[in-house]
C-alpha cells in the first residue's frame, strides 16, 4: 500500500469519526487503567457494567486497595477470567497507592510492571491519557492491518511497529481509536459491512464484498 492511499484511508476514517475515543466509561486515569485490565477478552459493554458497581465502592486506588478480594470478585464476576482479573486489579491498586501516590505512572516500564498490565494496556494508557502517539494492537486492529494491507504482520508487535512507522504523523495520535472503532462496527470479523465502508474504494482486501 502506498503512502498516498494510507493517508487517504486515515483522512476518511477521521472525517467519519471526528472525535475517536475509548468506549470504556471512566472518570480518572486510574479508573481507565482498571477498566482496560478488565477488558481483556471481554466487551467494553460488559466492563462498563462491572466498573459501575466497582467504582461506586472504590473510585480511586486507595479505596480499591482496601477492598477485600471477594468483594471485588462480586463486582466483576460477570466478566471472563474474573478471579484472575480481580486479583490483578487489587494488587495494581495497592502498588499505585503505595508507590505512586495514587497516580497512574506515565512510564511504559512502570506500567508494564503492574499486575495484569501488558504492552497493549500500557499503550492504551499512554495514548488515551498521556496523548502519546502509540497504538495498542488489539484483535480489531490486527485484523484490519492485515486484511486491508495497511500494515501486515505476523504478530501484534510487528503490526504495532509498522503502524507507528507508516501512519501519517497527523493521524498517529488518533489512529488507535479510529482503527478499533472501524473494526468494531464496520470491518468486523465475519461478513464485513463493505456496503457502508467509507474506505471501500481504497481497501485492498481481496475478498471484499461487491457493493454494486
Q: What is the dihedral of CA 20, 22, 27, 33, to 10 degrees?
A: -140
Measure the CA–CA gap between 32 and 104, rounded to whole angstroms: 10
Cβ–Cβ < 8 Å for 209, 195: yes
Residues with active-site annotation = 120, 138
| Category of 83 on φ-ψ map: left (φ > 0), alpha (ψ -120 to 50) or beta | alpha
Measure the CA–CA gap between 101 and 96, rounded to whole angstroms: 6
Q: What DSSP designation does 123 have? A: H
First to last CA, the chain: 24
Pick from 93, 96, 44: nearest CA to 69:
93
Amino acid at each position: 500500500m502506498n503512502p498516498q492511499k494510507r493517508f487517504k484511508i486515515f483522512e476518511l476514517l477521521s472525517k467519519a469519526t471526528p472525535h475517536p475515543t475509548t468506549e470504556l466509561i471512566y472518570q480518572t486515569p486510574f479508573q481507565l487503567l482498571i477498566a482496560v485490565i478488565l477488558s481483556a477478552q471481554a466487551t467494553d459493554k460488559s466492563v462498563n457494567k462491572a466498573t459501575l458497581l466497582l467504582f461506586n465502592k472504590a473510585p480511586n486506588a486507595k479505596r480499591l486497595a482496601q477492598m477485600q478480594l471477594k468483594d471485588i470478585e462480586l463486582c466483576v464476576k460477570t466478566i471472563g477470567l474474573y478471579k484472575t482479573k480481580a486479583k490483578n486489579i487489587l494488587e495494581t491498586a495497592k502498588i499505585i497507592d503505595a508507590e505512586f501516590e495514587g497516580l497512574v505512572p506515565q512510564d511504559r516500564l512502570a506500567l508494564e510492571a503492574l499486575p495484569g498490565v501488558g504492552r497493549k494496556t500500557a499503550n492504551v494508557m499512554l495514548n488515551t491519557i498521556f496523548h502519546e502517539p502509540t497504538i495498542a494492537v488489539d484483535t480489531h486492529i490486527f485484523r484490519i492491518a492485515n486484511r486491508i494491507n495497511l500494515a501486515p504482520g505476523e504478530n501484534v508487535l510487528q503490526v504495532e511497529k509498522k503502524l507507528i512507522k507508516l501512519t501519517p504523523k497527523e493521524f498517529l495520535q488518533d489512529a488507535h481509536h479510529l482503527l478499533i472503532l472501524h473494526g468494531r462496527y464496520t470491518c468486523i470479523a465475519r461478513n464485513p459491512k463493505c456496503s457502508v465502508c467509507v474506505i471501500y474504494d481504497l481497501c485492498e482486501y481481496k475478498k471484499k464484498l461487491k457493493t454494486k
